[in-house]
């Protein structure tokens, strides 16, 4: 235990509170360490971390949670007891995977939030109590309302943590209201893109601004889903509900419903007629996608001036995930993009804007430098 405490202090500093707790067997087998809020450093939450749970099983994991405000000893002890119970459930699995969601996991003080997701303490990567030896992996518990957990479970496990992070959901606030994690993340990236367009006088700024301010009176994503006959992934569904007109995104133009449906039907028809048989030999052997030139479960969402398309892949290969983005080049066919979801692709475009890889000409048109 002393070694764990030293590792904690080397990583996070001396705890403001350190309490020994007994496991169900009656042994004082683990502690909880607490760092109090530091408002002067814009850190309004207490951080509660287990020390010793990593030694109770072969899973080298400690648990962590952020809670707004300074916490009483009673709450800290209750949280420690929750950590122990939650850890007992975690270790029944062969592997503890970031993005996993657990039900009937109500964290003390977080009334009404009966589910939880575990994510890496590090920003989308592991964080260790002992960085040199990579021992004592710290995983953060994020309390969720059931509806939030339902939505996240509709995403592949690989991208759930990304959406929790990007949503900027106030996860440390026990009094927060329920919300859509995916919608928050998607709307935020569109707002960021719109702000850049506005600052650079891009001609579609007004269209984006109006779309983001508008109240939802219909359900364009549901209508699109019906026309395509394909279940849309959660992130693209929210994006299309917000932005469903033809919008230039860098070198590509997002399809509206009419264009998307027509393109999908045209490609499906040509595929059914065998028009792509000769092109089959060009198809990549990458196992993230199916070894075909075209698949009816690919959703064309954007096109460039060369007629290359951005597609959402709802029928991935054995090494891929549903909802991943693939490029469909006019001359060489499909190829993985490396983006595991539409949101990642959209966020990458915003990052390119921030990196000044694009400019706007005198006509208000965005161009790559």
pLDDT per position as a tens digit, 216-274: 667 999 999 999 999 999 999 999 999 999 999 999 999 999 999 999 999 999 999 99
**Percent of the chain having pLDDT more than 90?**
88
At residue 196, the 3 state secondary structure works out as helix
Residue 214's pLDDT band (cuts 50, 70, 90): confident
CA dist 216 and 129 (Å) reads 46
Give pLDDT, residue 132: 87
Instruction: Let me know: does 230 contact 299? Beta carbons within 8 Å.
Output: yes
Residue 353: closest CA among 205, 159, 168, 160: 205
Give pLDDT, residue 28: 54
Give pLDDT, residue 56: 83
Give pLDDT, residue 152: 98
Instruction: Let me know: does 228 contact 295? Beta carbons within 8 Å.
Output: no
Q: Is the pLDDT of residue 364 over 70?
A: yes
* Secondary-structure class of domain 182-368 per CATH: alpha beta
Residue 131's pLDDT band (cuts 50, 70, 90): confident
Residue 50: closest CA among 5, 106, 116: 5
pLDDT per position as a tens digit, 159-171: 999 999 999 999 9
Instruction: Let me know: does 111 contact 174? Beta carbons within 8 Å.
Output: yes
CA dist 68 and 61 (Å) reads 23
Instruction: Let me know: does 64 contact 50? Beta carbons within 8 Å.
Output: yes
Give pLDDT, residue 29: 79
CA dist 71 and 75 (Å) reads 6
CA dist 308 and 306 (Å) reads 5
Residue 1's pLDDT band (cuts 50, 70, 90): confident
Residue 124's pLDDT band (cuts 50, 70, 90): confident
61-68/135-144 β-pairing: parallel
Give pLDDT, residue 218: 78
CA dist 358 and 54 (Å) reads 48
Instruction: Let me know: does 275 contact 222? Beta carbons within 8 Å.
Output: no
Q: How many CB atoms lie within 10 A of CB 298?
A: 25
Give pLDDT, residue 217: 66
CA dist 181 and 190 (Å) reads 15
Q: What is the dihedral of CA 78, 151, 243, 250, to 10 degrees?
A: 80
pLDDT per position as a tens digit, 290-304: 999 999 999 999 999
Kindly report the average pLDDT of the chain as a whole number.
Answer: 94
Q: How many CB atoms lie within 10 A of CB 178?
A: 13
Instruction: Let me know: does 326 contact 313? Beta carbons within 8 Å.
Output: yes
**Residues with Cβ < 8 Å from 89, sequence gap 6 or more?**
102, 105
Please tell me what DSSP assigns to residue 176. Answer: P
CA dist 261 and 230 (Å) reads 11
**Percent of the chain having pLDDT more than 70?**
98
**CA end-to-end distance (rounded Å), the chain:** 56
Instruction: Let me know: does 163 contact 182? Beta carbons within 8 Å.
Output: yes
Residue 32: closest CA among 56, 4, 10, 57: 4
What HEC string does 274-293 produce?
CCCCHHHHHCCCCCCCCCCC
Give pLDDT, residue 123: 82
Residue 87's pLDDT band (cuts 50, 70, 90): very high
The structural domains of the chain, with segments of one domain joined by +, span 2-178, 182-368
């Amino acid at each position: 235990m002393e070694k764990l405490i030293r590792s904690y202090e080397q990583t996070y500093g001396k705890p403001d509170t350190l309490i020994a707790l007994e496991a169900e067997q009656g042994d004082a087998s683990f502690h909880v360490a607490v760092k109090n809020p530091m408002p002067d450093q814009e850190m309004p939450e207490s951080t509660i971390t287990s020390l010793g749970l990593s030694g109770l099983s072969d899973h080298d994991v400690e648990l962590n949670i952020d809670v707004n405000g300074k916490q009483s000893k009673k709450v800290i002890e209750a949280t420690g007891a929750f950590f122990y119970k939650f850890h007992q459930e975690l270790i029944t699995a062969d592997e503890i995977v970031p993005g996993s969601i657990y039900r009937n996991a109500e964290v003390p003080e977080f009334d009404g939030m009966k589910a939880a997701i575990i994510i890496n303490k590090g920003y989308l990567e592991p964080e260790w109590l002992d960085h040199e030896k990579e021992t004592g992996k710290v995983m953060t518990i994020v309390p969720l309302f059931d509806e939030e957990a339902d939505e996240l479970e509709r995403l592949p496990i690989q991208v759930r943590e990304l959406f929790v992070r990007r949503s900027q959901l106030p996860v440390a606030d026990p009094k927060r209201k329920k919300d859509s994690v995916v919608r928050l993340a998607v709307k935020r990236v569109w707002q960021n893109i719109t702000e850049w367009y506005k600052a650079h006088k891009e001609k579609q700024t007004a269209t984006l601004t109006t779309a983001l301010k508008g109240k939802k009176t219909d359900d364009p994503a549901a209508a699109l889903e019906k026309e395509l006959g394909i279940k849309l992934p959660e992130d693209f569904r929210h994006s299309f509900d917000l932005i469903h007109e033809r919008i230039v995104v860098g070198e590509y133009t997002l399809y509206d419903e009419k264009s998307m449906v027509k393109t999908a039907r045209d490609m499906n028809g040509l595929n059914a007629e065998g028009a792509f048989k000769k092109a089959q030999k060009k198809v990549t052997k990458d196992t993230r996608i199916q070894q075909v030139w075209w698949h009816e479960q690919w959703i064309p969402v954007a096109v460039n001036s060369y007629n290359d398309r951005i597609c959402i892949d709802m029928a991935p290969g054995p090494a891929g995930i549903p909802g991943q983005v693939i490029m469909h080049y006019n001359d060489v066919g499909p190829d993985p993009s490396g983006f595991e979801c539409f949101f990642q692709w959209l966020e990458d475009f915003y990052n390119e804007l921030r990196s000044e890889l694009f400019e706007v000409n005198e006509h208000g048109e965005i161009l790559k430098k």
